[in-house]
């Protein structure tokens, strides 16, 4: 018998191994096995299929060992992987690499890291495990090849696997290494004193240590109030010293434990629904119920602050009561601590959170709790699609229009919204897409009755949508070449809003200080040496940064080209706005939220909480301030540079600009009096701005869908974008041309390009693109994908193009 095994690599196809006689009865699909690949590489792969078809052209090697007594991957997951690989034109191995937490992926290159939290008590280990654990304790990390040397046995994977399961070590992932979980010491009472009697006995016979007694009482008070007490907090609030705390811990009364601060605390498992829906919400819920009887997918188009989340909560409750699992997907989990807090209030310990910023151990913990059915609700970013649900009933895809649902690099380049719909079809679950500004494709599908459609067009609590005002920056007097950053009207309004005890959000879709600097003498723009883009000046760090490849350059006082010192900074980013604003309105408390200020995992949450608690008057930010946040006191939203949102050479530009402006406007006036939105623009007559001013999604939709039809763009066609990358510009140009010529005969009228993209060089690779716009005919699309892959292989067979990278992106955004 043979096994087809998926290895987490971009192999052209899955390979086959022979199953040893004595393994046959134990091996199941979905189990991991240790296999040799090539001469001396080993991998843990997942068994996809067990069969008796001996491969024709080679003698398969034997599987070395079996790692799992039970499948870790279920059949529906294998089905999802396989669909994803064929739909998004990648390999199942690449999907596997994205789907599994590092713990499940062992290879010769794997490095094991000792888990400090385990301590050094190895009494529960067998001989082999003990040897490795000791080496790990001493050296902190080991390569798998070193483990091989230590153990002197044929197959080390099963032993390593056991060490991981016992949490003695974890697998190091090079890409994720930058994330260091923040640790803090917590103080715990010895469980002996959980008993009231024992505790009062202790307090009555405490003896001569009044300071320690005081400290203990302070501890008992705090723990009762807040459920957990950190060491610094206890020392601060009790005024006690480290030595006094050590005294109590020496006596075995209190224990000090180092813990990962971000570790999820699982609250009690109960459901608390303490609100009623209003009439409109109730009606929407009824319609959804009716539609879900016949539709698998429904769209809830609810304007900003219409109360979509409360409808989600009521639906989640239902599935929970049926005992089914629910996946609540969010575009970017880092941005959603608010939703987490809201849901935890209602569903406590039923909820798990899953995303890539969590440590490996935590991710495996959630993985296992989903598999056992212990956790019922997962709140997660796109990778939460890959969890081993045991009874998935319902998927919510919130802010379904958000481009972060699409993975760009590496493969699989999937859209989690669309993949969720596929996942639902193989698990017989329902999908609810929610948005105030649905993707054009989604709304079109809903209008065509492919999806159920429910619209919620009033704000909760009789709140009005904000008033929209355009500020025409053409009409403002300025020096030649000057660009208006903060008009006096906007400045006055900011001042007025804050004087009225309101808060302000200012939106600028560019971070940094100045997006480019240009030489006043020769006109040279300071650019990245590896990419065809200008560098952004960051004043705080005094560096020039390439936002494409991340390279940081020192600032220079003189022009790269002519040596002149007449460098002029052009345009402005969030950092400059923050600075200008502090100069103009020095009394305000101003903070900035963009990629640069929230690099640290918790920074974002801290900023949001400060804003919620009104410790900040004005929040200046990029896209980050746009997303789904619910604040009580925002009286004014300012969109600083609307023109910049409308100037992209992309068929989705209008849709995107509308979504961004409508979403950020939606943060204004969510309670009580209506808020104000001020939009600064040169081209105030732009149709998108006219739709935004009227909050007219439908108007935008009708206008855009007409253009999509006319120019044969999605949803009328399906697009596959091919990107060619190579260090040599001639090779990339020739390669793309040969490719286009060979497929041109068949796909000519569906093919656009080859052409250089607007940014034609990134990370020292020159780029070319071909775009396929295919009719929505499943057969045709499948054939075209095959042809693209064949043509890619043919091109790679020519020596000149051997290293030409060809990247297909299906439904590229
Ligand atoms: P959306 O997600 O549609 O933008 P939210 O769900 O954030 O809107 O709702 C807007 C505000 O109205 C929130 O502060 C929410 O707490 C409140 N809200 C919505 N529905 C209810 C309800 N049924 N009962 C109490 N408060 C509600
Ligand atoms: Zn110059
Ligand atoms: Zn660069």
Q: What is the DSSP string of 403-469?
A: GGGB--SSS---BHHHHHHHHHHHHT-EEEEEESS--HHHHHHHHTTSSEEEEE-S-GGGPPPPEEE
Give 727 Cα–ligand 2 centroid separation in angstroms: 27
What torsion, rounded to 10 degrees, do the Cα atoms 228, 233, 238, 241 define?
A: 120
Q: Whose CA is nearest to atom 27 of ligand 1?
A: 307
**DSSP-derived 3-state class of residue 386:** helix
Neighbours of ion ligand 2 (CB under 5 A): 519, 521-522, 524, 559, 561-562, 564
pLDDT tens, residue by residue, 83-131: 999 999 999 999 999 999 888 888 777 888 888 778 888 888 888 899 8
Give 788 Cα–ligand 3 centroid separation in angstroms: 29
Which of 215 and 38 is assigned the larger pLDDT?
Answer: 215
Under DSSP, the state recorded for 115 is -
Q: Whose CA is nearest to atom 20 of ligand 1?
A: 307
Mean of the pLDDT values across residues 693-710? 95
Give 333 Cα–ligand 3 centroid separation in angstroms: 27
Give 581 Cα–ligand 3 centroid separation in angstroms: 30
Strand order in the sheet with 254-260: 229-230, 183-189, 254-260
pLDDT of residue 237: 84
Q: Whose CA is nearest to atom 1 of ligand 1?
A: 305
Q: What is the number of the ligand 1 atom nearest to the C-alpha of 456? A: 3
User: 181 pLDDT exceeds 70?
Assistant: no
pLDDT of residue 225: 66
Mean of the pLDDT values across residues 416-438? 97
User: 703 pLDDT exceeds 90?
Assistant: yes
Give 561 Cα–ligand 2 centroid separation in angstroms: 5
Of the residues 283, 309, 312, which should be mutated to test ligand 1's pocket, given the most ligand atoms within 8 Å of the CB?
309
pLDDT of residue 473: 87
Of the residues 460, 464, 629, which should be mutated to test ligand 1's pocket, given the most ligand atoms within 8 Å of the CB?
460
CB 582 within 8 A of CB 590: yes
Contacts of 36 (CB under 8 A, 6+ apart): 42, 61, 64
Q: Whose CA is nearest to atom 9 of ligand 1?
A: 307
pLDDT band at 261 (very low <50, low <70, confident <90, very high): low
Q: Whose CA is nearest to atom 4 of ligand 1?
A: 305
Q: Which of 109-123, 295-309, 390-404, 434-448 has the lowest mean pLDDT?
A: 109-123
Give 601 Cα–ligand 1 centroid separation in angstroms: 27
pLDDT band at 173 (very low <50, low <70, confident <90, very high): low
Written as six digits, the tokens of 448 are 């065509």
Give 533 Cα–ligand 3 centroid separation in angstroms: 7
Q: What residue ranges line ligand 1, CB within 6 angstroms?
A: 275, 277-278, 281, 302, 304-310, 460, 630, 670
Give 670 Cα–ligand 1 centroid separation in angstroms: 9
pLDDT of residue 227: 65
* Cα distance between residue 723 and residue 725, in whole Å: 7
Helices (H), 748-807: 778-796
Average pLDDT of the chain, as a whole number: 88
- Counting ligands in written order, the one closest to the CA of 665 is 1
CB 276 within 8 A of CB 428: no
pLDDT of residue 177: 35
Contacts of 88 (CB under 8 A, 6+ apart): 411, 412, 413, 414, 810
Looking at the DSSP bridge assignments, the partners of residue 770 are 722
Q: What is the number of the ligand 1 atom nearest to the C-alpha of 304? A: 4
CB 618 within 8 A of CB 503: yes
Give 542 Cα–ligand 2 centroid separation in angstroms: 20
User: 175 pLDDT exceeds 50?
Assistant: no
Which of 335 and 131 is assigned the larger pLDDT?
Answer: 131
Q: Which of 149-163, 442-456, 683-697, 727-741 has the lowest mean pLDDT?
A: 149-163
Give 517 Cα–ligand 2 centroid separation in angstroms: 11
pLDDT of residue 180: 45
What torsion, rounded to 10 degrees, do the Cα atoms 69, 72, 78, 80 define?
A: 170
Mean of the pLDDT values across residues 441-458? 96
Q: Whose CA is nearest to atom 5 of ligand 1?
A: 307
Q: Where is 639: in which H helix or E strand?
A: strand 634-639
Q: Whose CA is nearest to atom 2 of ligand 1?
A: 308
Of the residues 283, 302, 305, 697, which should be mutated to test ligand 1's pocket, given the most ligand atoms within 8 Å of the CB?
305
Q: Whose CA is nearest to atom 6 of ligand 1?
A: 307
Q: Are strands 2-6 and 15-18 parallel, antiparallel or unpaired?
A: antiparallel
pLDDT band at 561 (very low <50, low <70, confident <90, very high): confident
Mean of the pLDDT values across residues 59-83? 93
pLDDT tens, residue by residue, 721-760: 999 999 999 999 999 999 999 999 899 889 988 988 878 8
User: 483 pLDDT exceeds 50?
Assistant: yes
Q: Which of 239-248, 407-416, 564-573, 576-585 has the lowest mean pLDDT?
A: 564-573
Q: Where is 592: in which H helix or E strand?
A: strand 590-593
Looking at the DSSP bridge assignments, the partners of residue 170 are 113
What are the start-end ranges of the E strands in 192-253?
229-230
pLDDT tens, residue by residue, 491-550: 999 999 999 999 999 999 887 777 778 888 887 888 888 877 788 888 878 888 887 777
pLDDT band at 226 (very low <50, low <70, confident <90, very high): low
Long-range contacts from 201-210, C-beta under 8 angstroms, 24+ separation: 202/253, 209/247
- Counting ligands in written order, the one closest to the CA of 312 is 1
What are the distances in angstroms from CA 66 to CA 29, 104, 156, 442?
A: 11, 13, 11, 44
Give 549 Cα–ligand 3 centroid separation in angstroms: 4
pLDDT of residue 423: 98
pLDDT of residue 178: 35
Q: Whose CA is nearest to atom 14 of ligand 1?
A: 630
């Amino acid at each position: 018998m043979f096994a087809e095994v998926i290895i987490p690599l971009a192999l052209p196809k899955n390979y086959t191994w022979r199953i040893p006689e004595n393994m046959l009865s134990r091996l199941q699909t979905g189990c991991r096995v240790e296999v040799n690949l090539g001469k001396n590489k080993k991998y843990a792969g997942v068994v996809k299929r067990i069969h008796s078809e001996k491969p024709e052209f080679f003698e398969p090697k034997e599987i070395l060992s079996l790692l799992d007594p039970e499948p870790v991957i279920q059949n529906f997951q294998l089905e999802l992987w396989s669909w994803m690989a064929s739909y998004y034109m990648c390999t199942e191995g690449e999907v596997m690499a994205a789907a599994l937490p590092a713990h499940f992926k062992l290879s010769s290159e794997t490095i094991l890291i000792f888990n400090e939290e385990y301590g050094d008590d190895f009494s529960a280990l067998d001989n082999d495990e003990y040897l490795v654990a000791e080496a790990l304790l001493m050296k902190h990390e080991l390569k798998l090849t070193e483990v091989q040397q230590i153990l002197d046995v044929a197959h080390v994977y099963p032993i390593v696997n056991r060490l991981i399961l016992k949490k003695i070590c974890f697998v190091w992932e090079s890409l994720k290494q930058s994330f260091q979980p923040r640790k803090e010491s917590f103080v715990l009472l010895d469980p002996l004193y959980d008993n009231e009697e024992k505790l009062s006995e202790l307090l009555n016979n405490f003896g001569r240590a009044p300071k320690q007694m005081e400290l203990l009482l302070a501890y008992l008070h705090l723990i009762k109030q807040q459920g957990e007490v950190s060491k610094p907090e206890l020392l601060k609030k009790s005024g006690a010293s480290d030595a006094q705390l050590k005294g109590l811990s020496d006596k075995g009364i209190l224990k000090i434990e180092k813990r990962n601060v971000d570790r999820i605390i699982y609250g009690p498992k109960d459901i608390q629904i303490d609100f009623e829906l209003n009439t409109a919400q109730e009606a929407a819920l009824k319609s959804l119920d009716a539609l879900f009887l016949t539709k698998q997918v429904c769209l809830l188009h609810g304007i900003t602050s219409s109360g979509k989340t409360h409808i989600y909560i009521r639906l989640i409750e239902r599935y929970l009561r049926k005992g089914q699992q629910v996946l609540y997907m969010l575009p970017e989990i880092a941005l959603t601590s608010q939703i987490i807090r809201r849901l935890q209030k209602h569903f406590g310990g039923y909820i798990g959170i899953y995303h890539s910023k969590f440590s490996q151990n935590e991710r495996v913990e959630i993985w296992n709790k989903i598999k056992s059915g212990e956790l019922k609700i997962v709140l997660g970013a796109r990778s939460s699609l890959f969890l081993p649900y045991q009874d998935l009933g319902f998927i919510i895809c919130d802010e379904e229009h958000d481009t972060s649902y699409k993975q760009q690099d590496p493969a699989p380049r999937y859209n989690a919204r669309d993949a969720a719909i596929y996942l639902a079809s193989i698990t017989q679950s329902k999908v609810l897409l929610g948005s105030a500004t649905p993707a054009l494709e989604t709304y079109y599908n809903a209008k065509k009755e492919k999806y159920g459609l429910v619209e919620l067009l009033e704000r909760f609590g009789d709140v009005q949508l904000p008033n929209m005002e355009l500020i025409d920056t053409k009409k403002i007097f300025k020096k030649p070449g000057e660009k208006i950053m903060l008009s006096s009207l906007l400045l006055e309004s900011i001042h007025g809003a804050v004087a009225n005890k309101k808060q302000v959000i200012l939106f600028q879709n560019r971070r940094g200080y100045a997006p480019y600097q240009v030489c006043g003498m020769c006109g040279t723009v300071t650019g990245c040496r590896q990419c065809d883009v200008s560098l952004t000046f960051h004043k705080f760090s005094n560096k020039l940064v390439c936002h494409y490849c991340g390279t940081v350059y020192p600032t220079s006082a003189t022009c790269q080209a002519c040596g002149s010192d007449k460098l002029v900074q052009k345009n402005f980013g969030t950092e400059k706005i923050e600075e200008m604003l502090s100069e103009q309105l020095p009394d305000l408390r101003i903070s900035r939220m963009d990629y640069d200020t929230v690099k640290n995992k918790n920074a974002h949450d801290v900023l949001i909480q400060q804003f919620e608690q009104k410790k900040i008057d004005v929040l200046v930010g990029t896209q980050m301030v746009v997303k789904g946040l619910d604040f009580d006191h925002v009286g004014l939203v300012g969109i600083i540079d609307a023109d910049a949102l409308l100037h992209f050479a992309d068929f989705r530009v209008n849709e995107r600009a509308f979504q961004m402006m409508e979403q950020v406007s939606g943060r204004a006036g969510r309670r009580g009096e209506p808020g104000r939105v001020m939009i600064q623009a040169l081209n105030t007559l732009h149709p998108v701005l006219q739709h935004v001013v009227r909050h007219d999604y439908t108007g935008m939709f009708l206008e855009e869908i007409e253009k999509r039809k006319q120019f044969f763009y999605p949803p009328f066609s399906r697009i596959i974008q091919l990107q060619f990358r190579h260090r040599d510009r001639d090779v990339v140009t020739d390669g793309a041309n040969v490719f286009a010529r060979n497929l041109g005969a068949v796909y000519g009228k569906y093919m656009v390009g080859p052409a250089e993209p607007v940014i034609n060089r990134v990370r020292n690779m020159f780029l070319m693109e071909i775009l396929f716009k295919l009719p929505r005919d499943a057969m045709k699309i499948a054939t075209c994908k095959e042809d693209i892959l064949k043509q890619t292989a043919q091109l790679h067979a020519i020596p000149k193009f051997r290293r030409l990278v060809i990247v297909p992106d299906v439904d590229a955004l």
